[in-house]
Amino acid sequence: MLHLDLGKPAERFLSKLPQKQQGQIWRKLFQIQDNPFPNDVKKLRGYPYVRVDVGEFRIVYHTQDALLIVRIIGKRNDDDVYKKLKRMEG
- Counted domains in the chain: 1
Q: What's the whole-model pTM score?
A: 0.88
- HEC profile for 46-86? CCCCEEEEECCEEEEEEEECCEEEEEEEEECCCCHHHHHHH
| Beta strands 57-64; 67-75: pairing state | antiparallel
Residue 40 backbone dihedrals phi, psi, to 5 degrees:
-90, 15
For residue range 28-74, list pLDDT tens digits in order. 999 999 999 999 999 998 889 999 999 999 999 999 999 999 999 99
- Residue range(s) defining the domain that contains residue 21: 3-89
| Residue 89, pLDDT above cutoff 80 | no
CATH number for 70: 3.30.2310.20
Instruction: Calculate mean pLDDT across residues 4-25.
Output: 94
- What confidence category does residue 76 fall into, taking pLDDT thresholds of 50, 70 and 90? confident
